[in-house]
Amino acid sequence: MGATVASRILRRPPRVPRATSAVGVVGVVAVGALGGLLAAVRPSPLRGQTTVVRADRMLDVESGRIVTDAVVVVERGRIARVGGAVPAGADVVDLGDVTLLPGLMDAHTHLTMDIEGDWVTRPVRETAADAALRGARNARLTLEAGFTTVRDVGSTGFADVALKRAIEAGLVAGPRIIPAGHSLSITGGHCDVTGFAPGIAETSPADGVADGPWGVVEAVRYQIKHGAGVIKICATAGVLSFEGPVGAQQLTLEEMVAAVEEAERHGLRVAAHAHGSEGILEAVRAGVHSIEHGSILTDEIMDEMKARGTYLVPTQYLADVLDLPALPPPIRAKAEYVLPLMKESFRRAVAAGVKVAFGTDAAVYPHGDNAREFAVYVERGMSPLDAVRSATLAAADLLGVEDRGRITAGLLADLVAVQGNPLDDIRAMEDVVFVMVGGEVVKGPG
Protein backbone atom coordinates (compact mmCIF):
# COMPACT_ATOMS: atom_id res chain seq x y z
CA MET A 1 0.00 0.00 0.00
CA GLY A 2 2.26 2.76 -1.23
CA ALA A 3 1.83 5.85 -3.35
CA THR A 4 -0.76 4.20 -5.61
CA VAL A 5 -3.10 3.54 -2.71
CA ALA A 6 -2.48 6.96 -1.24
CA SER A 7 -3.30 8.72 -4.48
CA ARG A 8 -6.44 6.64 -4.90
CA ILE A 9 -7.63 7.60 -1.46
CA LEU A 10 -6.92 11.27 -2.02
CA ARG A 11 -9.17 11.13 -5.08
CA ARG A 12 -12.05 9.40 -3.30
CA PRO A 13 -15.41 11.11 -3.81
CA PRO A 14 -17.16 12.62 -0.80
CA ARG A 15 -18.48 9.99 1.60
CA VAL A 16 -22.20 9.44 1.35
CA PRO A 17 -23.53 8.36 4.75
CA ARG A 18 -24.92 4.86 4.50
CA ALA A 19 -27.03 2.96 6.95
CA THR A 20 -25.25 -0.05 8.37
CA SER A 21 -26.31 -1.96 11.42
CA ALA A 22 -23.89 -1.78 14.30
CA VAL A 23 -22.43 -5.19 15.10
CA GLY A 24 -23.66 -6.75 18.29
CA VAL A 25 -26.06 -4.03 19.44
CA VAL A 26 -29.15 -5.74 20.84
CA GLY A 27 -31.90 -4.95 23.28
CA VAL A 28 -31.31 -4.87 27.00
CA VAL A 29 -33.30 -7.70 28.55
CA ALA A 30 -34.92 -7.85 31.96
CA VAL A 31 -32.69 -9.03 34.76
CA GLY A 32 -33.17 -12.71 35.64
CA ALA A 33 -33.71 -14.26 39.03
CA LEU A 34 -30.41 -13.44 40.68
CA GLY A 35 -31.78 -12.76 44.15
CA GLY A 36 -31.42 -9.79 46.41
CA LEU A 37 -27.87 -8.97 45.33
CA LEU A 38 -29.16 -7.47 42.08
CA ALA A 39 -32.38 -5.97 43.38
CA ALA A 40 -30.94 -2.46 43.26
CA VAL A 41 -30.11 -2.66 39.56
CA ARG A 42 -33.00 -4.80 38.27
CA PRO A 43 -35.27 -2.99 35.76
CA SER A 44 -38.80 -2.61 37.13
CA PRO A 45 -41.10 -5.25 35.59
CA LEU A 46 -44.32 -3.88 34.12
CA ARG A 47 -47.43 -5.98 34.54
CA GLY A 48 -49.12 -5.79 31.17
CA GLN A 49 -48.09 -6.30 27.56
CA THR A 50 -48.72 -2.60 26.89
CA THR A 51 -47.19 0.35 28.74
CA VAL A 52 -48.08 4.00 28.24
CA VAL A 53 -45.67 6.77 29.17
CA ARG A 54 -47.31 10.17 29.65
CA ALA A 55 -45.59 13.53 30.14
CA ASP A 56 -46.58 17.18 30.05
CA ARG A 57 -44.03 17.75 27.28
CA MET A 58 -42.12 15.78 24.66
CA LEU A 59 -39.33 17.08 22.42
CA ASP A 60 -39.70 16.00 18.81
CA VAL A 61 -35.99 16.10 17.92
CA GLU A 62 -36.67 15.98 14.18
CA SER A 63 -39.00 18.97 13.95
CA GLY A 64 -37.63 20.75 17.01
CA ARG A 65 -41.14 21.19 18.41
CA ILE A 66 -42.29 20.70 21.99
CA VAL A 67 -45.37 18.48 21.97
CA THR A 68 -47.69 18.95 24.95
CA ASP A 69 -49.64 16.21 26.74
CA ALA A 70 -47.40 13.51 25.26
CA VAL A 71 -48.53 9.89 25.09
CA VAL A 72 -46.12 7.12 24.05
CA VAL A 73 -47.48 3.58 23.76
CA VAL A 74 -44.89 0.84 24.26
CA GLU A 75 -45.32 -2.82 23.37
CA ARG A 76 -42.71 -5.59 23.57
CA GLY A 77 -39.82 -3.21 23.94
CA ARG A 78 -40.70 -0.93 21.04
CA ILE A 79 -42.71 2.22 20.49
CA ALA A 80 -46.08 1.12 19.13
CA ARG A 81 -47.69 4.53 18.80
CA VAL A 82 -47.14 8.19 19.66
CA GLY A 83 -50.22 10.19 20.62
CA GLY A 84 -53.86 9.16 20.78
CA ALA A 85 -55.90 7.57 23.52
CA VAL A 86 -54.55 5.33 26.25
CA PRO A 87 -55.32 1.68 25.42
CA ALA A 88 -57.60 -0.12 27.84
CA GLY A 89 -55.75 -2.25 30.37
CA ALA A 90 -52.37 -0.65 29.74
CA ASP A 91 -49.89 0.08 32.52
CA VAL A 92 -49.63 3.87 32.69
CA VAL A 93 -46.48 5.70 33.81
CA ASP A 94 -47.57 9.31 34.31
CA LEU A 95 -44.44 11.47 34.63
CA GLY A 96 -46.19 14.82 34.93
CA ASP A 97 -44.22 18.06 34.60
CA VAL A 98 -41.19 16.79 32.67
CA THR A 99 -39.91 16.75 29.09
CA LEU A 100 -39.72 13.35 27.41
CA LEU A 101 -36.83 12.70 25.00
CA PRO A 102 -35.31 9.78 23.10
CA GLY A 103 -32.68 7.83 25.01
CA LEU A 104 -29.37 9.70 24.78
CA MET A 105 -26.21 8.40 23.09
CA ASP A 106 -22.56 9.03 23.95
CA ALA A 107 -20.19 8.19 21.09
CA HIS A 108 -16.98 8.37 23.14
CA THR A 109 -16.83 6.57 26.48
CA HIS A 110 -14.37 4.35 28.33
CA LEU A 111 -16.70 2.56 30.74
CA THR A 112 -14.03 0.20 32.06
CA MET A 113 -11.52 2.96 32.83
CA ASP A 114 -11.05 6.00 35.02
CA ILE A 115 -8.13 8.15 36.15
CA GLU A 116 -8.72 7.63 39.85
CA GLY A 117 -5.98 6.54 42.23
CA ASP A 118 -2.74 5.17 40.77
CA TRP A 119 -4.10 4.78 37.25
CA VAL A 120 -0.63 5.16 35.68
CA THR A 121 0.60 1.76 36.94
CA ARG A 122 -2.75 0.01 36.59
CA PRO A 123 -1.74 -1.81 33.37
CA VAL A 124 0.82 -3.90 35.30
CA ARG A 125 -1.30 -4.42 38.40
CA GLU A 126 -4.73 -5.34 37.06
CA THR A 127 -6.41 -7.56 34.48
CA ALA A 128 -9.36 -7.29 32.14
CA ALA A 129 -11.50 -8.79 34.91
CA ASP A 130 -10.76 -5.80 37.14
CA ALA A 131 -11.66 -3.47 34.30
CA ALA A 132 -14.96 -5.25 33.61
CA LEU A 133 -15.99 -5.01 37.26
CA ARG A 134 -15.13 -1.32 37.28
CA GLY A 135 -17.16 -1.01 34.11
CA ALA A 136 -20.22 -2.55 35.76
CA ARG A 137 -20.28 0.32 38.25
CA ASN A 138 -19.71 2.92 35.55
CA ALA A 139 -22.31 1.41 33.20
CA ARG A 140 -25.03 1.84 35.78
CA LEU A 141 -24.03 5.46 36.46
CA THR A 142 -24.09 6.17 32.73
CA LEU A 143 -27.51 4.60 32.24
CA GLU A 144 -29.00 6.49 35.16
CA ALA A 145 -27.67 9.72 33.62
CA GLY A 146 -29.95 9.06 30.62
CA PHE A 147 -27.50 7.46 28.20
CA THR A 148 -29.11 4.33 26.82
CA THR A 149 -26.52 3.70 24.07
CA VAL A 150 -22.76 4.29 24.17
CA ARG A 151 -19.84 3.63 21.88
CA ASP A 152 -16.98 2.42 24.07
CA VAL A 153 -13.77 3.30 22.28
CA GLY A 154 -11.06 1.19 23.86
CA SER A 155 -10.66 -0.84 27.02
CA THR A 156 -8.36 -3.16 28.91
CA GLY A 157 -8.43 -6.51 27.17
CA PHE A 158 -11.92 -7.11 25.89
CA ALA A 159 -13.51 -5.87 29.10
CA ASP A 160 -15.97 -3.70 27.17
CA VAL A 161 -17.11 -6.72 25.15
CA ALA A 162 -17.57 -8.71 28.38
CA LEU A 163 -19.52 -5.82 29.90
CA LYS A 164 -21.76 -5.60 26.84
CA ARG A 165 -22.57 -9.30 27.09
CA ALA A 166 -23.28 -9.06 30.82
CA ILE A 167 -25.72 -6.20 30.23
CA GLU A 168 -27.46 -8.09 27.44
CA ALA A 169 -27.78 -11.13 29.72
CA GLY A 170 -29.31 -9.03 32.49
CA LEU A 171 -26.45 -9.61 34.91
CA VAL A 172 -25.76 -5.90 35.38
CA ALA A 173 -27.56 -2.68 34.48
CA GLY A 174 -26.12 -0.51 31.75
CA PRO A 175 -26.60 1.03 28.34
CA ARG A 176 -26.46 -0.71 24.99
CA ILE A 177 -22.75 -0.85 24.13
CA ILE A 178 -20.93 -0.74 20.80
CA PRO A 179 -17.47 -1.93 21.94
CA ALA A 180 -14.09 -1.41 20.29
CA GLY A 181 -12.00 -3.96 22.16
CA HIS A 182 -8.45 -2.62 21.95
CA SER A 183 -7.69 0.72 20.32
CA LEU A 184 -5.21 0.46 17.43
CA SER A 185 -1.82 2.13 17.81
CA ILE A 186 1.69 2.14 16.45
CA THR A 187 4.36 0.65 18.69
CA GLY A 188 4.98 3.17 21.45
CA GLY A 189 2.03 5.31 20.39
CA HIS A 190 -0.82 6.84 22.34
CA CYS A 191 -2.81 3.60 22.57
CA ASP A 192 0.21 1.48 23.43
CA VAL A 193 1.38 1.13 27.03
CA THR A 194 4.53 3.21 27.43
CA GLY A 195 6.77 4.21 30.31
CA PHE A 196 7.64 0.74 31.64
CA ALA A 197 10.92 -1.17 31.32
CA PRO A 198 11.47 -3.38 28.24
CA GLY A 199 9.69 -6.69 28.61
CA ILE A 200 6.96 -5.31 30.89
CA ALA A 201 3.45 -4.91 29.47
CA GLU A 202 4.65 -5.61 25.94
CA THR A 203 1.93 -5.65 23.28
CA SER A 204 1.09 -7.14 19.89
CA PRO A 205 -1.55 -6.85 17.14
CA ALA A 206 -3.87 -8.88 19.37
CA ASP A 207 -3.61 -5.95 21.82
CA GLY A 208 -4.18 -3.46 19.00
CA VAL A 209 -0.52 -2.47 18.60
CA ALA A 210 0.69 -2.90 15.03
CA ASP A 211 2.99 -1.37 12.43
CA GLY A 212 2.52 -1.33 8.67
CA PRO A 213 -0.70 -1.89 6.72
CA TRP A 214 -0.75 -5.67 7.09
CA GLY A 215 -0.05 -5.46 10.80
CA VAL A 216 -3.00 -3.09 11.11
CA VAL A 217 -5.21 -5.47 9.12
CA GLU A 218 -4.26 -8.28 11.52
CA ALA A 219 -5.09 -6.10 14.51
CA VAL A 220 -8.47 -5.10 13.04
CA ARG A 221 -9.36 -8.71 12.31
CA TYR A 222 -8.45 -9.79 15.84
CA GLN A 223 -10.66 -7.13 17.42
CA ILE A 224 -13.58 -8.14 15.22
CA LYS A 225 -13.02 -11.83 15.96
CA HIS A 226 -13.47 -11.16 19.66
CA GLY A 227 -16.52 -8.94 19.54
CA ALA A 228 -15.60 -5.41 18.46
CA GLY A 229 -18.50 -3.46 16.94
CA VAL A 230 -16.38 -0.43 16.00
CA ILE A 231 -12.67 0.05 15.28
CA LYS A 232 -10.86 2.83 17.13
CA ILE A 233 -7.50 4.00 15.77
CA CYS A 234 -5.04 6.42 17.33
CA ALA A 235 -4.00 8.60 14.41
CA THR A 236 -1.93 10.96 16.57
CA ALA A 237 -0.29 11.17 19.95
CA GLY A 238 -2.53 11.99 22.89
CA VAL A 239 -2.68 13.69 26.27
CA LEU A 240 -2.99 10.98 28.93
CA SER A 241 0.04 9.00 27.78
CA PHE A 242 3.80 9.35 28.00
CA GLU A 243 4.75 9.30 24.32
CA GLY A 244 5.83 12.36 22.35
CA PRO A 245 4.23 15.67 21.36
CA VAL A 246 0.46 15.64 21.74
CA GLY A 247 -0.36 16.50 18.13
CA ALA A 248 2.21 14.38 16.32
CA GLN A 249 0.88 12.08 13.61
CA GLN A 250 1.48 8.40 14.41
CA LEU A 251 -0.36 6.06 12.02
CA THR A 252 0.53 6.69 8.38
CA LEU A 253 -2.06 7.29 5.68
CA GLU A 254 -1.48 3.79 4.34
CA GLU A 255 -2.00 2.25 7.77
CA MET A 256 -5.22 4.22 8.31
CA VAL A 257 -6.51 3.25 4.87
CA ALA A 258 -5.84 -0.40 5.74
CA ALA A 259 -7.85 -0.06 8.97
CA VAL A 260 -10.81 1.62 7.25
CA GLU A 261 -10.94 -0.80 4.33
CA GLU A 262 -10.70 -3.89 6.54
CA ALA A 263 -13.29 -2.58 9.00
CA GLU A 264 -15.73 -1.65 6.24
CA ARG A 265 -15.27 -5.08 4.69
CA HIS A 266 -16.81 -6.45 7.89
CA GLY A 267 -19.51 -3.78 8.15
CA LEU A 268 -17.82 -1.78 10.91
CA ARG A 269 -17.02 1.91 11.15
CA VAL A 270 -13.79 3.58 12.27
CA ALA A 271 -13.29 6.28 14.90
CA ALA A 272 -9.96 8.13 14.88
CA HIS A 273 -8.44 9.67 17.99
CA ALA A 274 -6.69 12.72 16.54
CA HIS A 275 -5.36 15.95 18.04
CA GLY A 276 -2.86 17.43 15.56
CA SER A 277 -3.73 18.88 12.17
CA GLU A 278 -1.59 16.59 9.99
CA GLY A 279 -2.96 13.42 11.57
CA ILE A 280 -6.56 14.67 11.50
CA LEU A 281 -6.34 15.51 7.80
CA GLU A 282 -4.80 12.15 6.90
CA ALA A 283 -7.44 10.31 8.94
CA VAL A 284 -10.25 12.16 7.17
CA ARG A 285 -8.69 11.41 3.78
CA ALA A 286 -8.31 7.76 4.77
CA GLY A 287 -12.09 7.61 5.15
CA VAL A 288 -12.64 7.37 8.91
CA HIS A 289 -16.20 7.98 10.03
CA SER A 290 -15.42 10.26 12.97
CA ILE A 291 -12.62 12.37 14.38
CA GLU A 292 -12.41 12.12 18.16
CA HIS A 293 -11.31 15.31 19.96
CA GLY A 294 -10.20 17.18 16.80
CA SER A 295 -8.14 19.60 18.84
CA ILE A 296 -6.30 21.49 16.10
CA LEU A 297 -8.63 21.97 13.13
CA THR A 298 -7.83 24.03 10.05
CA ASP A 299 -10.10 25.40 7.34
CA GLU A 300 -8.78 22.72 4.99
CA ILE A 301 -9.65 19.97 7.47
CA MET A 302 -13.15 21.30 8.07
CA ASP A 303 -13.81 21.62 4.33
CA GLU A 304 -12.66 18.02 3.86
CA MET A 305 -14.84 16.81 6.74
CA LYS A 306 -17.91 18.53 5.33
CA ALA A 307 -17.26 17.19 1.85
CA ARG A 308 -16.92 13.62 3.09
CA GLY A 309 -19.57 13.72 5.82
CA THR A 310 -17.03 13.02 8.56
CA TYR A 311 -18.30 13.60 12.09
CA LEU A 312 -16.49 15.49 14.84
CA VAL A 313 -16.87 13.94 18.31
CA PRO A 314 -15.55 16.88 20.34
CA THR A 315 -15.23 15.79 24.04
CA GLN A 316 -15.38 19.39 25.29
CA TYR A 317 -16.42 19.27 28.96
CA LEU A 318 -13.20 17.56 30.01
CA ALA A 319 -11.25 20.61 28.86
CA ASP A 320 -12.95 22.60 31.63
CA VAL A 321 -12.75 20.11 34.50
CA LEU A 322 -9.63 17.98 34.04
CA ASP A 323 -7.65 18.13 37.29
CA LEU A 324 -4.36 19.40 35.85
CA PRO A 325 -2.36 19.57 39.12
CA ALA A 326 -3.07 15.88 39.73
CA LEU A 327 -1.49 14.81 36.44
CA PRO A 328 2.13 13.67 36.04
CA PRO A 329 4.17 16.68 34.82
CA PRO A 330 4.73 15.49 31.20
CA ILE A 331 1.03 14.82 30.79
CA ARG A 332 0.03 18.08 32.44
CA ALA A 333 2.24 20.01 30.01
CA LYS A 334 0.51 18.38 27.03
CA ALA A 335 -2.94 19.09 28.47
CA GLU A 336 -2.15 22.75 29.14
CA TYR A 337 -1.02 23.12 25.53
CA VAL A 338 -3.81 21.35 23.68
CA LEU A 339 -7.01 21.91 25.68
CA PRO A 340 -7.38 25.64 24.87
CA LEU A 341 -6.87 24.76 21.18
CA MET A 342 -9.56 22.09 21.46
CA LYS A 343 -12.09 24.65 22.71
CA GLU A 344 -11.37 27.10 19.90
CA SER A 345 -11.44 24.39 17.22
CA PHE A 346 -14.88 23.32 18.36
CA ARG A 347 -16.22 26.86 18.16
CA ARG A 348 -14.90 27.14 14.60
CA ALA A 349 -16.29 23.73 13.62
CA VAL A 350 -19.78 24.64 14.84
CA ALA A 351 -19.68 27.95 12.97
CA ALA A 352 -18.46 26.18 9.82
CA GLY A 353 -21.23 23.58 9.87
CA VAL A 354 -19.14 20.46 10.53
CA LYS A 355 -21.32 17.54 11.62
CA VAL A 356 -21.08 16.96 15.38
CA ALA A 357 -21.97 13.82 17.34
CA PHE A 358 -22.06 13.89 21.13
CA GLY A 359 -19.06 12.38 22.90
CA THR A 360 -17.57 12.92 26.34
CA ASP A 361 -14.45 10.78 26.96
CA ALA A 362 -16.10 9.76 30.23
CA ALA A 363 -13.37 8.23 32.41
CA VAL A 364 -11.25 11.36 32.12
CA TYR A 365 -13.90 12.82 34.43
CA PRO A 366 -16.42 10.86 36.51
CA HIS A 367 -18.83 8.54 34.75
CA GLY A 368 -22.42 9.71 35.13
CA ASP A 369 -21.53 13.35 34.48
CA ASN A 370 -21.89 12.81 30.71
CA ALA A 371 -24.82 15.23 30.33
CA ARG A 372 -22.67 18.16 31.42
CA GLU A 373 -21.27 18.10 27.89
CA PHE A 374 -24.50 19.66 26.57
CA ALA A 375 -24.08 23.04 28.27
CA VAL A 376 -20.51 23.33 27.01
CA TYR A 377 -21.69 22.79 23.41
CA VAL A 378 -24.21 25.60 23.81
CA GLU A 379 -21.67 27.88 25.47
CA ARG A 380 -19.39 27.36 22.46
CA GLY A 381 -21.91 28.13 19.77
CA MET A 382 -24.47 25.34 19.32
CA SER A 383 -28.18 25.92 19.74
CA PRO A 384 -29.83 23.92 22.54
CA LEU A 385 -31.78 21.93 19.92
CA ASP A 386 -28.66 21.04 17.97
CA ALA A 387 -26.91 20.04 21.18
CA VAL A 388 -29.74 17.59 21.94
CA ARG A 389 -29.71 16.38 18.35
CA SER A 390 -25.98 15.65 18.64
CA ALA A 391 -26.84 12.95 21.22
CA THR A 392 -29.88 11.62 19.35
CA LEU A 393 -30.25 12.07 15.59
CA ALA A 394 -26.59 12.76 14.84
CA ALA A 395 -25.28 10.05 17.16
CA ALA A 396 -27.66 7.49 15.65
CA ASP A 397 -26.43 8.42 12.18
CA LEU A 398 -22.77 8.16 13.15
CA LEU A 399 -23.24 4.85 14.96
CA GLY A 400 -25.31 3.38 12.14
CA VAL A 401 -28.27 2.53 14.37
CA GLU A 402 -31.59 3.36 12.71
CA ASP A 403 -33.72 1.86 15.48
CA ARG A 404 -33.22 4.64 18.05
CA GLY A 405 -32.60 8.38 18.45
CA ARG A 406 -36.22 9.46 17.86
CA ILE A 407 -39.59 8.89 19.51
CA THR A 408 -41.29 7.26 16.57
CA ALA A 409 -43.45 4.19 16.10
CA GLY A 410 -41.41 1.06 15.40
CA LEU A 411 -38.21 2.20 17.12
CA LEU A 412 -36.76 0.87 20.36
CA ALA A 413 -38.55 2.11 23.47
CA ASP A 414 -35.48 3.91 24.83
CA LEU A 415 -36.85 7.01 26.57
CA VAL A 416 -35.65 9.54 29.13
CA ALA A 417 -37.29 12.46 30.88
CA VAL A 418 -35.77 15.60 32.35
CA GLN A 419 -37.03 18.32 34.65
CA GLY A 420 -37.78 21.54 32.80
CA ASN A 421 -37.46 22.29 29.09
CA PRO A 422 -33.96 21.85 27.60
CA LEU A 423 -34.75 24.29 24.79
CA ASP A 424 -35.14 27.00 27.42
CA ASP A 425 -32.29 25.83 29.66
CA ILE A 426 -29.92 23.19 28.29
CA ARG A 427 -28.81 22.33 31.83
CA ALA A 428 -32.13 20.55 32.21
CA MET A 429 -30.37 17.67 30.46
CA GLU A 430 -28.34 17.17 33.65
CA ASP A 431 -31.47 16.37 35.69
CA VAL A 432 -32.70 13.04 34.32
CA VAL A 433 -35.58 11.68 36.39
CA PHE A 434 -36.78 8.78 34.22
CA VAL A 435 -35.00 6.20 32.06
CA MET A 436 -36.57 3.40 30.03
CA VAL A 437 -34.55 0.91 27.97
CA GLY A 438 -36.32 -1.47 25.64
CA GLY A 439 -39.60 -0.87 27.44
CA GLU A 440 -38.17 -1.54 30.91
CA VAL A 441 -38.06 1.24 33.48
CA VAL A 442 -34.60 1.46 35.06
CA LYS A 443 -35.02 4.83 36.79
CA GLY A 444 -38.07 6.71 38.02
CA PRO A 445 -41.71 5.71 38.51
CA GLY A 446 -43.04 2.59 36.88
> How does residue 389 score in pLDDT terms, banded at 50, 70 and 90?
very high
Domains and CATH numbers, the chain: 3-26+104-399 (3.20.20.140), 50-101+407-443 (2.30.40.10)
User: What is the overall mean pLDDT for the chain?
Assistant: 86
Q: Which of 213, 159, 219, 217 is nearest to 192 (CA)?
A: 219
Q: Residue 362 pLDDT > 60, yes or no?
A: yes
Q: Which of 279, 301, 314 is nearest to 186 (CA)?
A: 279
Q: Residue 46 pLDDT > 50, yes or no?
A: no
Q: What is the pLDDT of residue 21?
A: 36
Residue range 72-116, pLDDT digits in tens? 999 999 999 999 999 988 999 999 999 999 999 999 999 998 877
Number of helical H runs and strand E runs in the chain: 12, 15
Mean pLDDT to the nearest integer, 361-382: 95
Residue range 8-25, pLDDT digits in tens? 333 344 444 433 333 333
CA atoms within 13 A on the CB side of 211: 6
Residue range 277-312, pLDDT digits in tens? 999 999 999 999 999 999 999 999 999 999 999 999
Q: Residue 378 pLDDT > 80, yes or no?
A: yes
> How does residue 195 score in pLDDT terms, banded at 50, 70 and 90?
low
Strand partners of residue 407: none
Q: What is the pLDDT of residue 18?
A: 38
Distance CA 28, CA 195 (A): 39
Distance CA 268, CA 229 (A): 6
Q: What is the pLDDT of residue 204?
A: 63
pTM of the model: 0.85
Mode of pairing for the β-strands spanning 98-102 and 415-419:
antiparallel
Distance CA 165, CA 442 (A): 18
Phi, psi for residue 167 in degrees, rounded to 5: -65, -45
Element housing 214 (H / E) = helix 213-225
Strand partners of residue 234: 273
Q: Where are the alpha helices (DSSP H) in 169-295?
A: 213-225, 253-265, 277-286
pLDDT winner (highest mean) among 110-114, 120-124, 365-369: 365-369
Residue range 199-221, pLDDT digits in tens? 776 676 788 799 999 999 999 99
SS3 state at 185: strand
Do the beta carbons of residue 354 and residue 305 sit within 8 Å? yes
Q: What is the pLDDT of residue 32?
A: 34
Distance CA 11, CA 56 (A): 52
Catalytic annotation, residues: 232, 361
